[in-house]
């Protein structure tokens, strides 16, 4: 893939040169740190109670009471911040006209999109990696099972990959970054909560909407279950939106 590296490196450079990354990163870490602190504080409270009441002891478990809630909380924060990281990907290029450079260089459009997509994903991985510090600290104070931690992170990465692909598509639709962020956020939230109507809709539709829900596929990962169906779901989600972006850029070309 010629040009992929060029676009990938340029995107990373722009991320680290722009204040958006630092602001979004700081907010992400403050929020996730707050959630982590909250869970740990609650855990220690329960632990004290458990010390007085021996029957409770078997239920007190770091993985269930701190790690799993932390992953759930991080997934919500990702829902809020990923649209802010993806909004400029194509919208800014359209606004500044640099897309004209990019699309007249001898590069395949797919290489351009993948470069942007993976650079954004890498930035999110860096943020996620920092949250790993919390868990390493936690492991110093108590017994932590690493298996569910790894599956949980796998789930978050796949989720983030899905988010970024939809964000990329939203960014292709407009040259206004705010509009791109709003579309991405709205669409992601819709995919997040679409499963809710599953219980009231008919049995057929209910199954479909529950399958579509981003949230439902994250659940197994954070509980430590790896299921190929969930992998497949997130990968399809990403591929679908990258493909859609590619097609959209093509139709734009004709309409311009």
Long-range contacts of 137-141 (CB under 8 A, 24+ apart): 138/40, 138/62, 138/66, 138/67
- Please report how close the Cβ of residue 221 comes to another protein at its closest, in angstroms: 36
Sign of CA dihedral 210, 212, 214, 217: positive
- Please report how close the Cβ of residue 213 comes to another protein at its closest, in angstroms: 38
Instruction: Give, rounded to a whole angstrom, the gap between the first and last alpha carbons of the chain.
Output: 27
Q: Taking CB under 8 A as the rule, which mask of x and - marks residues 16-55 in contact with another protein?
A: -xx-------------------------------------
247 binds another protein (CB under 8 A): no
Closer to another protein by Cβ: residue 84 or 209: 84
How much is the CA Rg of the chain, to the nearest whole Å? 20
* Interface residue with another protein, options 26, 30, 59, 253 (CB under 8 A): 253
* Maximum Cα interatomic distance, the chain, rounded to a whole number of Å: 72
Decide: 245 and 113 in contact? Cβ < 8 Å.
yes
Of 170, 183, 16, the C-alpha closest to 94 is 170
- Please report how close the Cβ of residue 40 comes to another protein at its closest, in angstroms: 39
Neighbours of 26 (CB within 10 A): 10
CA dist 14 and 28 (Å) reads: 19
* Interface residue with another protein, options 26, 44, 96, 236 (CB under 8 A): 96
Closer to another protein by Cβ: residue 4 or 185: 4
Sign of CA dihedral 159, 223, 227, 212: negative
- Please report how close the Cβ of residue 9 comes to another protein at its closest, in angstroms: 7
Closer to another protein by Cβ: residue 12 or 218: 12
5 binds another protein (CB under 8 A): yes
Stretch of 11-19, 37-45, 47-55, 76-84 contacting another protein, by CB under 8 A: 11-19
* Interface residue with another protein, options 3, 148, 167, 224 (CB under 8 A): 3
CA dist 117 and 8 (Å) reads: 8
3-state secondary structure of 194: helix
256 binds another protein (CB under 8 A): yes
227 binds another protein (CB under 8 A): no
CA dist 169 and 161 (Å) reads: 13
Write out the binding residues for another protein, residues 100-129 only, by CB under 8 A.
100-108
251 binds another protein (CB under 8 A): no
Of 61, 231, 244, 209, the C-alpha closest to 154 is 231
> Which residues are at the interface with another protein (CB under 8 A)?
2-3, 5-7, 9-10, 13-14, 17-18, 96-108, 253-254, 256
């Amino acid at each position: 893939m010629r040009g992929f590296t060029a676009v990938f490196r340029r995107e990373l450079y722009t991320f680290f040169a722009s204040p958006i990354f630092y602001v979004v990163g700081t907010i992400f870490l403050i929020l996730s740190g707050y959630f982590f602190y909250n869970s740990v504080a609650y855990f220690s409270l329960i632990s004290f109670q458990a010390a007085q009441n021996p029957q409770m002891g078997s239920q007190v478990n770091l993985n269930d009471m701190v790690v799993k809630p932390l992953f759930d909380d991080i997934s919500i924060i990702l829902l809020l911040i990923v649209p802010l990281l993806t909004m400029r990907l194509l919208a800014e290029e359209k606004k500044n006209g640099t897309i004209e450079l990019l699309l007249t260089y001898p590069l395949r459009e797919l290489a351009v999109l993948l470069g942007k997509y993976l650079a954004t994903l890498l930035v999110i991985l860096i943020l996620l990696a920092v949250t790993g510090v919390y868990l390493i600290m936690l492991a110093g104070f108590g017994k932590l099972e690493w298996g569910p931690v790894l599956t949980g992170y796998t789930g978050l990465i796949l989720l983030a990959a899905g988010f970024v692909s939809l964000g990329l598509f939203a960014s292709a639709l407009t040259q206004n970054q705010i509009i791109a962020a709003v579309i991405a956020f709205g669409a992601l939230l819709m995919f997040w909560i679409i499963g809710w109507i599953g219980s009231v809709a008919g049995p057929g539709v209910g199954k479909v909407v529950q399958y579509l829900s981003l949230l439902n596929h994250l659940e197994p990962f954070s509980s430590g279950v790896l299921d190929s169906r969930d992998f497949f779901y997130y990968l399809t989600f990403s591929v679908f939106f990258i493909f859609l972006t590619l097609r959209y850029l093509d139709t734009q070309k004709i309409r311009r």
